[in-house]
């Protein structure tokens, strides 16, 4: 091996044996593979693309779980399983970016504000109008949150207002991270529908 990813026959043969044992039902056979590639994926692939340790840790955990759950679908093609795991991680990174974009759009809806506070030189009536518009929008957001399912409102508050990591949100709500992701997606959808109706 020239590094953590095997590129020689002996390293690939050992990896193939471990995979075959895992596919035969010995899930412990994956431990050396997960232990070897986890740090490589985290520091070389996931964290640089997310820039957030909490999200990166979530993606690494999800990648490891997906590797275990999908090991039966892996087919050895003469190269390390690392590249298969890397693709799983990349797909999950894309999912995080999509959720962030949805979250950013919702945050924009939840915090409808003018680009900047009125400058001191602006007329007093413009400042009054700005303050009134902000008050109305905040009331509209509050009404919308009160109108949707309480669990949906809680998911939005935890993730977007308190800006907690997904894992912490899931813990607070007593669900798994995967269940929280589904709940949060439905929450955003419900909020958007009700907000537009308002």
Q: What is the pLDDT of residues 62-71, one digit of tens each?
A: 999 999 999 9
* Residue 150 scores a pLDDT above 50: yes
pLDDT at 132 over 60: yes
pLDDT of 114 over the 50 cut: no
> What is the spatial distance between Cα 41 and Cα 53, in angstroms, rounded to a whole number?
13
Task: Walk me through the domains of the chain, giving residue ranges and CATH numbers.
Answer: 9-96 (1.10.1740.10), 111-197 (1.10.10.10)
Least confident stretch, 35-39, 44-48, 109-113: 109-113
| pLDDT of amino acid 105 | 65
pTM value?
0.54
> How many CB atoms are closer than 10 A to CB 170?
22
Range with lowest mean pLDDT among 13-27, 43-57, 63-77, 182-196:
182-196
**How far apart (Å, rounded) are the C-alpha atoms in residues 20 and 139?**
59
Tell me what the pLDDT averaged over the chain comes to.
82
Q: What percent of the chain has pLDDT over 70?
A: 79
pLDDT of residue 161: 76
Give the C-alpha distances (Å, rounded to integers) separating 186 from 62, 157, 181, 193.
20, 14, 9, 11
* Confidence label for 131 from pLDDT (cuts 50, 70 and 90): low
Whether 67 and 41 have beta carbons less than 8 Å apart is answered as: no
């Amino acid at each position: 091996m020239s590094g953590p990813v095997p590129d020689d026959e002996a390293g690939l043969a050992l990896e193939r044996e471990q995979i075959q044992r895992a596919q035969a039902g010995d899930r412990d056979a994956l431990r050396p593979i997960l232990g070897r590639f986890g740090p490589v994926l985290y520091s070389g692939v996931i964290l640089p693309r997310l820039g957030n340790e909490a999200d990166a840790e979530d993606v690494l955990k999800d990648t490891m779980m997906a590797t275990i759950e999908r090991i039966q679908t892996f087919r050895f093609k003469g190269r390390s399983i690392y590249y298969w795991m890397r693709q799983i991680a990349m797909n999950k990174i894309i999912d995080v970016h999509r959720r962030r974009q949805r979250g950013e759009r919702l945050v924009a809806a939840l915090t409808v504000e003018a680009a900047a506070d009125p400058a001191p030189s602006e007329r007093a009536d413009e400042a009054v109008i700005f303050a009134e518009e902000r008050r109305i929008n905040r009331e509209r957001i509050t009404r919308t949150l009160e109108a949707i399912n309480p669990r949906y409102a809680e998911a939005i508050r935890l993730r977007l207002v308190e800006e907690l990591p997904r894992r912490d949100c899931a813990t607070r709500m007593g669900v798994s991270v995967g269940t929280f992701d589904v709940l949060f997606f439905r929450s955003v959808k419900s909020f958007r529908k009700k907000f537009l109706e308002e």
